[in-house]
Amino acid sequence: MSKRPPLFFLLLLLLVLSLLSLTTAEIKTLKITSDARPMILFEKFGFTHSGHVSIALSSVSVISSLSTPDPSRLAFFLLSEESYIQVLLELQQNPSFCVIDSKFIQLLFTFRDLSPPPHSTFDQSYPVTAPNEYSLFFANCAPGSQVTMDVRTELYNLDSGSFKDYLSAGLTQLPTLYFLFFLIYLSFLGFWFYYCYHNKRSVHRIHLLMALLVLMKALNLICAAEDKHYVKVTGTAHGWDVLFYIFQFIRVVLLFTVIVLIGTGWSFLKPFLQEKEKKVLMIVIPLQVLANVASIVIGETGPFIKDWVTWNQVFLLVDIVCCCAIIFPIVWSIRSLRETSKTDGKAARNLAKLTLFRQFYIVVIGYLYFTRIVVFALRTIAAYKYQWVAYAAEEIASLAFYVVMFYMFRPVEKNEYFVIDEEEEEAAELALRDEEFEL
């Protein structure tokens, strides 16, 4: 009889801890087909003192290549965040240990509680009286067995009488948060149009793309607010998730495109793109398509699918490649301006351009670092009741980046690209000689 190595369980739980972000746990109907995995993670949810877990199973069948499986070895259970380490230690100490036997889990039911075949079904709701963040697992401790079943899960809190809140305790504030930022970006867009109108002689095509970017960000936020609101009160997104993913895709592609175009100086310094700059766009845009496909799969399916970890890895890898790729045009522009400054005799103008591009380089690096590393750290270390803080920090960082970028490259009659102060020309030449502007 084969035994599953405890290393498998260890890696599974560690991957869950490192890759799984807090899910919204809307009502989900899932189909598991001939699955032999020893553990399947369904949801991760923050419960209050009035939490509930409702599980309905139908069309359940278990096929074993060995002996008739013991139904008590197949079960659903809850595992709190604090109990992960204890379970990992148990798995290390006993190679044949079954997680169902752990004293640190909250066992809900085993397959022994199902109605008898051929109509093996189950439908039960369980209260969660100890507030905490729990993960809902299915464990298969019957070696050689494959499970097929239709699963319907509902995880919610009853904090306002009979009102079901399907958002985790740390995410229930998200609808309001996203709506507030939608209003901020809408105001930002109005101000941008007003500013461009009063400086229309200096408006370039890039400014119109920047306006479109803000519009897509605002639409993305209002769809996110509606999506989370309907999930919160009904358990389903009512189609708002589709609009959310559409505007998110357009917004992300536009953001990376705008950063690349600004980094190349397109429509500011030159009306065309060089071949290497076109190649960056040709790489970034398809990769963003792939990243958004991975994001949709991750968001709309959940960790129960077999390739969930793979899709997370694809998303992470593509995101890192894109973040690195958009830096190159800025570096190329800085080096090109540095070389030009040695020959064209316009020291003040070149110094202003170099300073601006160098500042933009620092701003982009800071934005990418904060939203990819600091926000992830906040989501990891923040208590489950305050997970919304990480989302708020991400939106604040994005807003700050938009404001700084739009301010730096705003349309003005005499912006930093074209300032020439003859009295300071000699000082600029000295600065260019002394400051190498190397990154």
**At residue 177, does pLDDT exceed 50?**
yes
**At residue 423, does pLDDT exceed 60?**
no
pLDDT band at 77 (very low <50, low <70, confident <90, very high): very high
Question: Which of 9-13, 52-56, 242-246, 380-384 has the largest mean confidence?
Answer: 52-56
Structure-model confidence comparison of residues 287 and 168, the more confident one? 168
Q: Which domains does the chain have, with CATH numbers?
A: 6-165 (2.60.120), 174-434 (1.20.1070)
Q: Give residue-wise pLDDT tens across range 116-126.
A: 876 788 999 99
Q: Residue 166: which residues within 8 A CB-CB, separation 6 or more? A: 24, 25, 26, 27, 154, 155, 156, 231, 232, 233, 234, 235
Structure-model confidence comparison of residues 248 and 307, the more confident one? 248
DSSP, collapsed to helix, strand or coil, labels residue 417 as coil
Rounded mean pLDDT, 329-344:
67
Q: Give residue-wise pLDDT tens across range 263-272.
A: 877 665 555 5
pTM: 0.81
Rounded mean pLDDT, 159-188:
91
Residue 295's closest CA among 268, 328, 318, 272?
Answer: 318
Q: Note if the bond before 118 is cis, omega within 30 degrees.
A: yes
pLDDT band at 201 (very low <50, low <70, confident <90, very high): confident
Q: Give residue-wise pLDDT tens across range 209-236.
A: 999 999 999 999 999 999 999 999 998 8
**At residue 408, does pLDDT exceed 70?**
yes
pLDDT band at 404 (very low <50, low <70, confident <90, very high): very high
pLDDT band at 259 (very low <50, low <70, confident <90, very high): confident
Which of 110-119, 126-135, 191-200, 303-312 has the lowest average pLDDT?
A: 303-312
DSSP 8-state code for residue 100: G
Cα separation, 374 vs 260, in Å, equals 23
Return the exposure string of 194-220: e unless at least 16 CB atoms fall within 10 Å of the residue's CB, then b: ebbeeeeebbeebbebbbebbbbbbbb
Rounded mean pLDDT, 30-51:
88
**At residue 6, does pLDDT exceed 60?**
no
**Average pLDDT along the chain:** 80
Rounded mean pLDDT, 317-344:
73
- Residue 239 has a pLDDT of 84
* Cβ proximity of 41 and 303 under 8 Å: yes
Rounded mean pLDDT, 66-89:
87
pLDDT band at 419 (very low <50, low <70, confident <90, very high): very low
**At residue 39, does pLDDT exceed 70?**
yes
pLDDT band at 19 (very low <50, low <70, confident <90, very high): very low
**At residue 242, does pLDDT exceed 70?**
yes
Q: Give residue-wise pLDDT tens across range 99-140.
A: 898 889 999 999 999 988 767 889 999 999 899 999 999 999
Q: Give residue-wise pLDDT tens across range 349-363.
A: 666 677 777 788 888
Residue 37 is which amino acid?
A: R
**At residue 31, does pLDDT exceed 50?**
yes
Structure-model confidence comparison of residues 378 and 94, the more confident one? 378
- Residue 13 has a pLDDT of 47
Angle between helices 425-434 and 347-369 (to 10 degrees): 50
Rounded mean pLDDT, 416-435:
50
Chain CA centroid to CA 89, Å: 31
- Residue 342 has a pLDDT of 56
**At residue 280, does pLDDT exceed 90?**
no
**At residue 183, does pLDDT exceed 90?**
yes
Cα separation, 173 vs 148, in Å, equals 37
Structure-model confidence comparison of residues 261 and 4, the more confident one? 261
**At residue 57, does pLDDT exceed 50?**
yes
For the chain, give the percent of residues with pLDDT over 70. 77
- Residue 24 has a pLDDT of 55
Q: Assign 3-class secondary structure to 40-89.
A: EEEEEEEECCCEEEEEEEEEEEEEECCCCCCHHHEEEEEEEHHHHHHHHH
- Residue 150 has a pLDDT of 92
- Residue 179 has a pLDDT of 97
pLDDT band at 340 (very low <50, low <70, confident <90, very high): low
